[in-house]
Amino acid sequence: MDAITVLPNVDLRPNGPMAERFLQAGLTTFHDACHWVKALPYGANTHSEDSLILFEEGYGNCTTKHGAIARLAQAHGLPVHKHLGFYRLNDDIVTGVNAMLAPHGLDFIPQIHCFLVYEDYRVDLTEGNCNGKNQTIEDYDVVVPVAPDLTRAQHHAYYRQGLQQYYPLVPQLAALGEAIICELLAECDRQLKYQCSIMVDTLTPVGG
């Protein structure tokens, strides 16, 4: 992934609710806003359909962090867009996932992550966050541009579309069916959160 500095930078204007919230937070440039969002703690928000929730809850995940900056870019006419990428989730990414997949004969399960795209650059505002992943995702099988904010139904629709491309490659996935795949993803998500909690415990000094 690339650094925030590859993105275009402009002074923020009070153009819409997203820009106004960043300005109220004392941020004056697009790069300032990107760094501020990246520094927010990582966590799943109570909902992700409106990325303004970052300002209400003080944390966010890849969906809301990149959604907020994509909306800010849109308000300032910057060609910086949110994309969804499909990658192969296994123990290399989140420790403990392989044990969940092995009973189903799977070496990986397709998962999605989002990031910003500008020209040929990709910027991940969750890189370095305590997000439960062992490494930053660099390799994607499928990448699609999406709107800054998506409904839950739209997220599921994108996942179903991407999943279809894996079925010819991995017959075991096709045999499982979408319902069981979604259950497995939920298990993997719980493992990711568990892994992140371990990382927090490791990084937090005793009594801190």
| Residue closest to 71 by CA, chosen among 119, 22, 126, 1 | 22
Torsion of CA 45, 131, 71, 182, to 10 degrees: -70
Cα separation values, 119 from 5, 7, 79, 116, 147, Å: 13, 9, 8, 10, 17
Check if the beta carbon of residue 89 is closer than 8 Å to that of residue 109: yes
* Rounded Cα gap, residues 17 and 1, in angstroms: 29
Query: Where exactly are the structural domains of the chain?
Result: 4-203
Q: What is the pLDDT of residue 85?
A: 95
Kindly list the averaged pLDDT for each block of 10 residues, start to end, along the chain of length 208: 97 96 97 98 92 96 96 98 96 92 94 96 94 90 96 92 93 91 88 63 36
pTM score over 0.85: yes
* Rounded Cα gap, residues 64 and 159, in angstroms: 17
Q: What is the pLDDT of residue 189?
A: 83
Residues 6+ apart with CB under 8 A from 36: 22, 25, 27
* Rounded Cα gap, residues 49 and 72, in angstroms: 16
CB contact burial 51-65 (16+ within 10 A = b; e otherwise):
bebbbeeeebbbbbb
Check if the beta carbon of residue 21 is closer than 8 Å to that of residue 55: yes
Give burial (CB, 10 Å; 0-12/13-18/19+) of 167. middle
Which residue do the tokens 């992140």 mark? 196
